[in-house]
Structure 1
Amino acid sequence: MGTTATVLVGLVILVGIIGAVVQVYPSGPFVGGAILVWAIAWNTPAAWTVFAVSALVLMAALVAKYLIPGRRLARSGIPNSTLLWGLAAAVVGFFVVPVVGFVIGLVLGIYLAELARLQSHQAAWPATVVALRAVGLSVVIELVAALAATGAWVVGLFLV
């Protein structure tokens, strides 16, 4: 595998890491897919080991990013529909207000869903904060997994 191809794989991995931060697209397929292409190109035991480790990390994160925040929301009594409303408002916000609209829409959508459910600002705002923390935890889990898989790939560059 040449230098140009390795740089292209690295760029796709970088796109995946950015996806973990901005949450507009999932990072796992980009990072895992790029490492898979790299492993196929090198076709060595070290390359396949790096891919296997990366794939396991990314799959574990895929499960964890839903289970862990979901448990926190369930303990707080916040329904999943609140996050769905927040996500829907985030998508609308993304198109209405470029760059920051996704975040504004997410916060506003979650708050309005909780306001409708709880019927008071005093109860809705703390619930919104709990829901946003759960979303933040999900982002952190996905980012850490993308960075761990990237770290395995960087180590693999020296092993093949």
Structure 2
Amino acid sequence: MGVWELLLVGLVILLGLCGVLVPGVPGSWLVWAGVLWWALKDPRPVAWGVLVGATFALFFYQVVRWALPPRRLRESGATPRMAVYAGAGAFAGFFLIPVLGAIPGFLGGIYLCERLRLGRSRSARAAVRTAMRAGGWSVLAELFTCLLIMGAWLGAVVWG
């Protein structure tokens, strides 16, 4: 698979990650479709292993999602700006503290957004709790799953 094709697959995966944060966009399916495209064009065992792992991870996320509260983020006062901060925090945390850093990064992104908006630490912490109760855990679970898939894909491309 050529460099340009890999960049296009990476772009589809990145769009999927952004799509997780946008209501109505099938972000996790875009991530999976990017991995599928890569596996079909580069039929090595590692590519098929990443595709099977991505399929199982997304299936597991769908099972876990039933136990999480439904997404009612708009009702809680969540804004697109908050989604950008949370996504950027999760993405940065995923690489700064490998894999598990996405969770504190996501929460830290929401906190930073609300701290800048509200100006008080106590109000920002309360806003984080409200956002997470209103469906933030569901968004975090989907984003974390997609980040794991992206990390596996990136690892297979770089070292595979």
What is the CA-CA distance between 1:3 and the residue it aligns to? 0.5
User: 2: distance between equivalents of 1:140 and 1:33?
Assistant: 20
What is the CA-CA distance between 1:22 and the residue it aligns to? 2.3
Residue matched to 1:56: 56
User: 1: distance between equivalents of 2:56 and 2:38?
Assistant: 16
Q: C-alpha offsets along residues 5-57 of structure 1, whole Å, 9 cap, x if unaligned?
A: 10000000001000112233121110001001101111011110011111111
User: 2: distance between equivalents of 1:159 and 1:50?
Assistant: 13
User: 1: distance between equivalents of 2:80 and 2:44?
Assistant: 42
Give the 4+ runs in structure 1 shifted more than 3 A: 129-132
Where in structure 2 are the equivalents of 1:8-157 lying within 5 Å?
8-69=8-69, 133-157=133-157
Q: Give the structure with higher Rg (CA).
A: 1
Sequence identity percentage:
34
Under a length normalisation based on structure 2, what TM-score does the superposition of the two structures give?
A: 0.60
Q: C-alpha offsets along residues 110-144 of structure 1, whole Å, 9 cap, x if unaligned?
A: xxxxxxxxxxxxxxxxxxx7686141110000000
Q: In angstroms, what is the RMSD of aligned CA positions?
A: 2.9
Q: SS in structure 2 opposite 1:68?
A: coil
Under a length normalisation based on structure 1, what TM-score does the superposition of the two structures give?
A: 0.60
Report if the CA contact (8 A) 2:68-2:135 is conserved. Answer: no
The one-letter amino acid paired with 1:61 is Y
Report if the CA contact (8 A) 1:50-1:152 is conserved. Answer: yes
Structure 2 gap segments, 5+ residues each: 82-128
User: 2: distance between equivalents of 1:155 and 1:132?
Assistant: 30
Q: C-alpha offsets along residues 77-128 of structure 1, whole Å, 9 cap, x if unaligned?
A: xxxxxx6xx58x87xxxxxxx967xxxxxxxxxxxxxxxxxxxxxxxxxxxx
Structure 1 gap segments, 5+ residues each: 71-82, 91-97, 101-128
The verdict on how the C-alpha distance between 1:156 and 1:139 changes in structure 2, with shifts beyond 3 A counting, is same
The verdict on how the C-alpha distance between 1:18 and 1:131 changes in structure 2, with shifts beyond 3 A counting, is closer
User: 1: distance between equivalents of 2:155 and 2:32?
Assistant: 15
